[in-house]
Amino acid sequence: MPAYDTNNIFAKILRGELPCYKVYEDEHVLAFLDIMPRSPGHTLVIPKAPARNIFDISPDDYVHVARATHRISAAAMKAFNADGLTVQQHNEPASGQVVFHLHIHIMPRHHGVSLLPPASRKEDAKVLEDNAAKLIAALG
Ligand code: 5GP
């Protein structure tokens, strides 16, 4: 497996070199909206620890990401009036991973509505701003 690349997009977001629609942050994790959402409210949870994917993250760091995913999932159900929610995490290109800093996808779902294919379209800034505000409010 290739080594962790400190210049991946999410490492740049963590360092504040690129912007994001942040919804949650603590000592261990950052969560922000996917700019090409597969469903309204599609959120990404990442560890602050540098990890390419599940194969090089420490169990403790993975637990921090899982805890945040658990909390944000409950809030996303409310914020987006969802009927269900898909949690997904890709490891290596064969699985669909394209950004090589571990991230968990949280995708709110509605009955009868399929997920868009990955990276289908960049969402409007106003929609992303509104969705981030809704999720932040639901997180309390
Ligand atoms: P993967 O396929 O690696 O699991 O998912 C990478 C995700 O990152 C995709 O859902 C894609 O839409 C998202 N993404 C790619 N570039 C950016 C970016 O610059 N900002 C944000 N917020 N998401 C991104």
Q: Measure 99 CA to ligand 1 centroid, in angstroms.
A: 6
Tokens of 120: 């289908």
The mean per-residue pLDDT over the stretch 123-140 comes to 98
1 within a domain of the structure (yes/no): no
DSSP reduced 3-state for 106:
strand
Q: What is the pTM of this model?
A: 0.98
**CATH code of residue 18:** 3.30.428.10
**pLDDT for the residue 40:** 98
132 within a domain of the structure (yes/no): yes
Q: Which domain holds residue 129?
A: 9-139
Per the residue annotation, which of 70, 103, 110, 111 is the catalytic one?
Answer: 103
Mutate to test the pocket of ligand 1, among 7, 22, 35, 86 (most ligand atoms within 8 A of CB): 35
Instruction: Please count the structural domains in the chain.
Output: 1
- Model confidence at 36, pLDDT cuts 50, 70, 90, reads very high
42-79 pLDDT per residue, tens: 999 999 999 999 999 999 999 999 999 999 999 999 99
18 within a domain of the structure (yes/no): yes
Dist CA 85 CA 78 (whole Å) = 11
Whether 28 is catalytic is no
4 within a domain of the structure (yes/no): no
Handedness of CA 135, 98, 69, 15 (dihedral sign): negative
Q: Measure 64 CA to ligand 1 centroid, in angstroms.
A: 20
40 within a domain of the structure (yes/no): yes
